[in-house]
Amino acid sequence: MRRLLHHPSATLGLIVLTFVVIVAIVGLFWTPYDPYAVAPRQKFLPPDAVHLMGTDQYGRDILSRIMYGGHLTLLTGFLSIAMALSIGITFGVVGGWVGGRTDLAIVATMDILLAFPAVLLALGIVAVLGGSVTNVIVAVGIATIPVFNRVARAAVLSVTARPYVRAAVAMGCSDRQIIVRHVLPNVAGPLVVLTAITIAGAILIGSALSFLGLGAPPPEPEWGVMLNDARAYMQLGWWLTVMPGVAIALTVLALNLLGDGLRDLLDPTSRATDAHA
Amino acid sequence: MTTPLLDVRGLSTQLDSDTGVVRAVDGVSLTIDPGQTLGLVGESGCGKSMTARSIVRLLPSGGRTVAGQVLFEGRDLLTLDAGAMRAMRGHHIGVIFQDPSTSLNPVHPIGNQIAEPLRLHLGLSARAARDRVVELLSRVGIPRPQQRISDYPHQLSGGMRQRVMIAIAVACEPRLLIADEPTTALDVTIQAQILELIAGLSSETGTAVLLITHDLGIAAGMCDRIDVMYAGRMVETGSLDDLFYRPRMPYTWGLLDALPQLGMDRHTRLATIEGGPPDLSAVMAGCRFADRCAWTRDLCRSTEPLLTARSDAGHLARCHGTDAGGWIG
Amino acid sequence: MAAYLLKRLALLVPVLRVVSLLVFASLDLTPGDPVTSVVGDVPIDQATRAQIREAYGFDRPLHDQYLGFLARALQGDLGYSYRNHQPVLDLVLRAIPSTVSLMIAAMIIGISVGMVVGTLAAIKRGTLTDTTLMSLATLGLSIPSFWLGMLLLLVFAVNLRLVPAIGRDDLASLILPAITLGVGSAAIIARFLRSSLLEVLGQDYITTARSKGVSPRRVITGHALRNAFIPVLTIIGLQVGTLLAGAIVVETIFTRRGVGSLLLSGINNRDFPVVQGTVLFATVSYVVVNLLVDVAYTLVDPRIRHGGRPS
């Protein structure tokens, strides 16, 4: 942690991310105005001291909407990756450890998932399940499983091949002990890096799906939805387009900077964990 | 006395490392006469490769030469501008590296890699360069050169790759050939052939050779003179006979003892020098070999011995114990 | 070489079978009566409903429907759109040129900008230039493409009126969409090329090149770039999938015709034959492009051409 704070871009990322998370949490309980309150006489007001980020086509305060909507965007990122992480690692560890047919079946399934680009896969899943915030989380989560699965499986395979692990097996250590003591510590570094970067990707995909009308339904102040709303009124107020986008870009940038910094510290030799590919 | 082809004076090269600045080469001087073969011998990490790389100014990143002169035919290479230095490399000075499997570019046919210096320095046309490449390939002992010219490095064996490296290095008939551990990465059976090839080329064209090796035996078979380096310092220099029959430095004795000898019982273990070389990033007083030497006295630890003349002309050694008034017989 | 290509093409068959099965099964998973998708919200009586059910084959068991779909698909019949009752194949074929030209333009931007930026950053490693370029690349990765598209529209079409915002199919109207789509690829390629090039520049054969008296510029262009490009090729292949997905977003923002907007309207209208057709196109092109990438590998890396894998 202390070393992380000596990494300039990681520090910047951490500060910005903390700021965004705090604002989103505060937004859940308090916003300057009601994020849903329509005020027809105050529409398209440019940013000023009263409305820091201006108002939209219904006269709603954009800052309030961004603050309140923040939890939707952040939750999409965090929950979908939490899902991908737990399922991906479980299957990766089980497959790599058990081997044989189980492993083959898991690898084959992951290969099929990997045959599609993550965005298309998520889009397809949402198309089938129908558009909602929950479904976007599930879709992005499923699309990201293979990334974690692969790292976990590779780690199991490489660790179990090491002499000291074979010795541990010979001495009668249980599978569970070996996985917890030897396998997981070995993947912790790459996984932390991957988590930061995939959350960034998940937020991008999630907001893109919302933007396309496949995520949160319109009155919700999800940032992608706000941008979709703004499309029709671009010439009436730049702030409608600029503000929600800055919010998304800032969050994703913070996560990417943090991920890069973590990679430099935890995983210096590897290019393999670049999930952006 | 002839003017030397290469006259290195007080060369010092430093490397940045995690533990600090490493003085990899520390005040090294050496000379090579035209057509002569000089062996530069020492354990790995003693600075012999860094010396060679300093001469051609191809240091790894984090390395820099901080003092000295490298006079090549009287011109100091260290003061040449980058363009003039490039005109030297591959033209008047050829280099052969240790590992031919990583030293050839995997994505270019070997013919193009050999032709490159010919076209660059001699301005040969594509056709003329091709003819010369075929000639070179056959000279370095590659069968059916016409066909092999479009082969890629991965299609050749290790020995063949080193022959290609040699062809690249001697393409422009340089006056100095630097061979940095040219046989270390090769099979023992091929080592002799490669050394023979280098020796043959050298005597044919009058090319001087700086042979860098950790193996005193290899140096014995090839060289007119031998320089021994230890921990960034030159510790003994002399003719082949001086070094083998009248060595005046305990470290050289150690190297000699480590050589396998004819008639030696197969089960006798070769002698090794106990311990390892000192940390070159630390400041040292005294003789750098003192910690591993069986004859060390207080003087060795407090004052570093100078490189002083011994019985024969041109035989120098750095040792208090064997110097005039020393305690080793 | 030809045998290798044939083998790779043969791999397309199982992939397409899985994809078509998945797309088809998704139909069944979707809540709601497929008849409603066909007629929309118009109230109809039971008899008509049954008639439509039979006409579209909804009454038959799913595997039966699937086999029928496969048999027809192999003959180039992808069914008819529920919405406008046009053949899906025609709809997709008409949408392809616009999407493909968009993707090619984006790829050209991505590769050329990415290569220049990545190379420059690697050469100037550790300098301000390097830091600036890599910060820009990280920014490029972090900006959502739909927002970038809207910003470009806002600045160049709405405010400056330099380029046509939407509609036409000429070259000028391709510029903004292609930039929108290409920025992400450029950023990724730049990052990968930089690290790949730095790795290559530390290799022994680069020292060999320098020992031959080759100039720094030639060392980069003649000896390092081609080696550094090999891992980047994989990335470029994977980028095609991302570009395809990005095309949906970009075509929506710039209201362009194309496979992406076709797919999106298919999803929104629950027009499944259209979804099926566009997804099949996407999969085939993804697989084919990655096949082309493999061919490109053999051109760039002689070690693969002769049957090995790069070490």
Question: Where does the pLDDT of residue C185 fall: very low under 50, low under 70, confident under 90, or very high at 90 and above?
Answer: very high
| Facing residue for C209 by CB, picked from B88, B105, B152 | B105
Closest CA to C32 of C201, C191, C295, C269: C269
The CA distance from A93 to A187, in Å, is 11
The complex scores an ipTM of 0.88
Question: pLDDT of C48-87, one tens digit each?
Answer: 777 777 776 676 777 777 777 777 777 777 778 887 888 8
Name which residue leads in pLDDT, A216 or B117: B117
pLDDT at site B207: 94
Average model confidence (pLDDT) across chain B = 89
Most C CBs within 10 Å, among B57, B116, B168, to test the C interface:
B116
- Interface contact B107-C227, CB threshold 8 A: yes
Name which residue leads in pLDDT, C140 or C307: C140
Judge whether A55 and A61 are in contact, CB under 8 Å: yes
> What's the rounded mean pLDDT across residues C278-286?
80
Bridge partners (DSSP) of residue B208 are B176
Nearest CA in chain C to B152: C302
pLDDT at site A272: 39
- Interface contact A276-C145, CB threshold 8 A: no
Kindly list the residues of chain B whose beta carbon comes within 8 Å of any beta carbon in chain C: 56, 58, 61, 86-91, 94-95, 97, 99, 102-109, 116-117, 120-121, 152, 154-155, 165, 168-169
Question: pLDDT of C87-117, one tens digit each?
Answer: 888 888 999 899 999 999 999 999 999 999 9
Question: pLDDT of C113-131, one tens digit each?
Answer: 999 999 999 999 888 999 9
Whether the per-residue pLDDT at B5 is higher than 60: the answer is yes
pLDDT at site A168: 80
| Facing residue for A276 by CB, picked from C141, C158, C268 | C141
Whether the per-residue pLDDT at C209 is higher than 70: the answer is yes
Nearest CA in chain C to B60: C202
Average model confidence (pLDDT) across chain C = 82
Per-residue pLDDT of chain A (277 residues; tens, 9 = 90+): 666 677 788 888 899 999 999 998 988 888 787 888 777 787 777 888 777 777 777 778 888 888 888 889 999 999 999 999 999 999 988 888 888 888 888 888 887 777 677 777 788 788 777 778 888 899 899 989 988 988 888 888 887 777 877 788 788 777 778 778 777 777 788 888 889 999 999 999 999 998 888 888 878 888 988 888 888 887 788 888 888 999 999 999 999 999 888 888 876 555 434 444 3
| Token duo for residue C52 | 């439509």
| Facing residue for C215 by CB, picked from B61, B86, B155 | B86
Torsion of CA C253, C255, C259, C264, to 10 degrees: 60
Question: pLDDT of B197-247, one tens digit each?
Answer: 999 999 999 999 999 998 888 898 889 999 999 999 999 999 998 888 889
Please report which residue ranges of chain C form alpha helices under DSSP H. Answer: 2-29, 34-39, 46-56, 62-74, 88-123, 128-142, 145-152, 172-201, 204-211, 216-218, 225-253, 259-268, 272-300, 302-305
Q: Which residues of A touch C265 (CB under 8 A)?
A: none
Percent of chain C at pLDDT > 70 equals 84
Is the CB of residue C196 less than 8 Å away from at least one CB of chain B?
no
| Facing residue for C204 by CB, picked from B87, B102, B155 | B102
| Token duo for residue C125 | 């490693």
Most C CBs within 10 Å, among B105, B113, B184, B210, to test the C interface:
B105
Q: Chain A to chain C, count of Cβ pairs less than 8 Å apart?
A: 119
Q: Which residues of C touch B105 (CB under 8 A)?
A: 205, 208-209, 223, 227
Could you identify the residue written with the tokens 């703004």? A230
- Interface contact C144-A252, CB threshold 8 A: yes
Question: pLDDT of C143-173, one tens digit each?
Answer: 999 899 889 888 887 777 766 655 555 666 7
Question: Nearest CA to CA, how far is C24 from chain A (Å)?
Answer: 11
pLDDT at site B265: 60
- Contacts with A48 (C-beta within 8 Å, 6 or more apart), sequence order: A54
Given strand B176-180, what is the order of strands in its sheet? B93-96, B176-180, B208-213, B37-41, B225-230, B233-239, B316-317, B308-309
Given strand B75-76, what is the order of strands in its sheet? B20-32, B6-17, B63-72, B75-76
Question: Taking the model in full, what pTM does it have?
Answer: 0.84
pLDDT at site C310: 40
Whether the per-residue pLDDT at B92 is higher than 90: the answer is yes
Most A CBs within 10 Å, among C30, C128, C138, C147, to test the A interface:
C147
pLDDT at site B264: 60
Helix axes A118-129, C225-253, angle to 10 degrees: 30
pLDDT at site B139: 92
> What's the rounded mean pLDDT across residues C208-237?
90
Question: Where does the pLDDT of residue C21 fall: very low under 50, low under 70, confident under 90, or very high at 90 and above?
Answer: confident
Is the CB of residue A276 less than 8 Å away from at least one CB of chain C?
yes
Closest CA to C25 of A112, A137, A148, A95: A112
Whether the per-residue pLDDT at C294 is higher than 90: the answer is no
> In this predicted structure, which of B109-123, B161-175, B287-301, C288-302 has the lowest mean pLDDT?
C288-302
> What's the rounded mean pLDDT across residues B116-127?
93
Is the CB of residue C227 less than 8 Å away from at least one CB of chain B?
yes
- Interface contact C245-A119, CB threshold 8 A: yes
> What's the rounded mean pLDDT across residues B116-143?
93
| Facing residue for B102 by CB, picked from C205, C213, C308 | C205
pLDDT at site A275: 41
State the DSSP code for C85: -
> What's the rounded mean pLDDT across residues B106-117?
94
Q: Do chains C and B touch (3 or more CB pairs under 8 A)?
A: yes
Question: pLDDT of B251-290, one tens digit each?
Answer: 999 888 877 766 666 555 556 677 778 888 877 788 999 8
In three state form, how does the secondary structure of chain B look?
Answer: CCCCCEEEEEEEEEEEECCEEEEEEEEEEEEECCCCEEEEECCCCCCHHHHHHHHCCCCCCCEEEEEEEEEECCEEHHHCCHHHHHHHECCCEEEECCCHHHHCCCCCCHHHHHHHHHHHHCCCCHHHHHHHHHHHHHHCCCCCHHHHCCCCHHHCCHHHHHHHHHHHHHCCCCCEEEEECCCCCCCHHHHHHHHHHHHHHHHHHCCEEEEEECCHHHHHHHCCEEEEEECCEEEEEEEHHHHHHCCCCHHHHHHHHCCCCCCCCCCCCCCCCCCCCCCCCCCCCCCCCHHHCCCCCHHHHHCCCCCEECCCCCCEECCCCCCCCCCCC
pLDDT at site A252: 93
* DSSP H or E stretch at residue A3: none
